[in-house]
């Protein structure tokens, strides 16, 4: 039998409407599972971005107060240069800090256009001779009380802390995604089985008149694909809300900290959503095919 588009659309729609509660439950569960998976990937991407930014042989950063005088900056430069514990350092003035800021937030033009170079703090990026964490922290804190210093970031320790927290968060989200994915598979399987059972007499008649198993199976497979796609749309909206809240809460600040650097570009967001959504839709279609094959196996 040849497939007709109107037949496939009608049968798929009837299957979805005939069992609204199981369908809604399946879509919601798929959506939540895909949301957790997408957030897990976004967190991993953001942490990797932050780590690559702050782990370029920079052990700590000394931020200078915006109102610091030229004499205070010069004195701080001499103190860092004359310290026997310092291997090398680099001073970022307002213009260089602004260029770095624009590179980090190139996806948010509203933020970069609202600030001027002089609004950003200058800083010294310092690499100590001894990489031992305890010694680096001691050297870093020795500059915290200097005149004109706003704060000192001990980057190595912050990176390790964020990596530990990020690793636990990713593990939690991944485990949660797997648990919900299993629940989604069972729900979709059960929903398709319920739809088939409701049409069992019609299916038997179709088999008697010569309809192939594929002709009977396709509307149910499409039903699974629709459920997976709807769950993917749910996940897209949820992940977009998460991304927006994260950017508004932690990024786009005038002080550069490690948390501010946990971010992802629009391109990375779209790629992750496309992969997660495509995976969810594909798996849902496969589960629906297995469910119909299971029923039609005899």
As a whole number, the mean pLDDT across the chain is: 78
Confidence of residue 254 (pLDDT cuts 50, 70, 90): very low
**Co-location of 124 and 244 in the same domain:** no
**Co-location of 142 and 178 in the same domain:** no
Confidence of residue 234 (pLDDT cuts 50, 70, 90): very high
Yes or no: say if 269 and 45 are a contact pair by the CB < 8 Å rule. Answer: no
Q: Is the model more confident about 233 or about 195?
A: 233
**pLDDT tens-digit profile of 25-69?**
888 888 888 888 888 888 878 877 766 655 554 578 888 887 888
Among candidates 215, 221, 201, which has minimal Cα distance to 12? 221
Q: Is residue 160 over pLDDT 90?
A: no
The pair phi, psi for residue 71, each rounded to 5°, is -65, -40
Q: Is residue 20 over pLDDT 50?
A: yes
Confidence of residue 255 (pLDDT cuts 50, 70, 90): very low
**Co-location of 44 and 186 in the same domain:** yes
**pLDDT tens-digit profile of 194-218?**
777 777 777 777 777 776 777 777 8
**Co-location of 165 and 28 in the same domain:** yes
Last residue of a domain, one of 118, 153, 188: 153
**Co-location of 167 and 284 in the same domain:** yes
pLDDT given for residue 197 in this prediction: 75
Distance of CA 94 to the CA centre of its chain: 31
Q: Measured between alpha carbons, how far is 122 from 134 in angstroms, rounded to an integer?
A: 26
**Co-location of 245 and 277 in the same domain:** yes
Q: Is residue 157 over pLDDT 90?
A: no
pLDDT given for residue 120 in this prediction: 76
Q: Is the model more confident about 37 or about 163?
A: 37
**pLDDT tens-digit profile of 4-18?**
666 666 766 776 677
**Co-location of 69 and 95 in the same domain:** yes
**Co-location of 137 and 179 in the same domain:** no
**Co-location of 32 and 112 in the same domain:** no
Assigned token pair, 296: 């039609």
Q: Measured between alpha carbons, how far is 166 from 52 in angstroms, rounded to an integer?
A: 15
Q: Measured between alpha carbons, how far is 160 from 91 in angstroms, rounded to an integer?
A: 25
Last residue of a domain, one of 104, 124, 153: 153
Least confident of 103-117, 135-149, 167-181: 103-117
pLDDT given for residue 273 in this prediction: 92
**Co-location of 184 and 83 in the same domain:** no
- For residue 125, list its beta bridge partners: 61, 90
**Co-location of 165 and 142 in the same domain:** no
Q: How many domains does the chain have?
A: 2
- Parent domain of 109: 60-153
């Amino acid at each position: 039998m040849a497939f007709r588009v109107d037949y496939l659309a009608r049968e798929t729609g009837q299957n979805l409407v005939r069992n609204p509660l199981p369908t809604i439950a399946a879509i919601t569960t798929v959506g939540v599972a895909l949301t957790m998976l997408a957030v897990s990937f976004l967190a991993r991407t953001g942490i990797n971005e932050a780590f690559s930014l702050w782990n370029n042989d920079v052990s700590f950063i000394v931020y200078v107060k915006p109102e610091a005088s030229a004499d205070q900056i010069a004195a701080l430069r001499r103190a860092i240069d004359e310290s026997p514990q310092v291997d090398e350092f680099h001073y970022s003035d307002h213009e260089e800090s602004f260029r770095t800021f624009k590179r980090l937030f190139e996806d948010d033009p509203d933020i970069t256009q609202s600030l001027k170079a002089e609004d950003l703090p200058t800083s010294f990026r310092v690499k100590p001779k001894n990489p031992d964490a305890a010694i680096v922290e001691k050297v870093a804190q020795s500059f915290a009380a200097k005149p004109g210093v706003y704060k000192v970031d001990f980057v190595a320790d912050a990176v390790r802390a964020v990596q530990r927290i990020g690793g636990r968060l990713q593990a939690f989200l991944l485990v949660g995604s797997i648990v919900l994915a299993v629940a989604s598979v069972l729900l979709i399987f059960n929903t398709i089985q319920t739809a088939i059972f409701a049409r069992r007499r019609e299916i038997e008649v179709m088999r008697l008149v010569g309809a192939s198993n594929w002709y009977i199976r396709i509307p149910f497979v499409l039903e699974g694909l629709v459920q997976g796609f709807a769950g993917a749309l749910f996940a897209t909206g949820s992940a977009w809300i998460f991304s927006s809240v994260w950017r508004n809460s932690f990024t786009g600040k005038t002080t550069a900290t490690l948390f501010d650097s946990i971010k992802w570009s629009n391109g990375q967001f779209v790629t992750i959503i496309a992969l997660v959504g495509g995976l969810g839709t594909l798996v849902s279609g496969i589960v629906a095919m297995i469910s119909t094959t299971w029923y039609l196996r005899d």
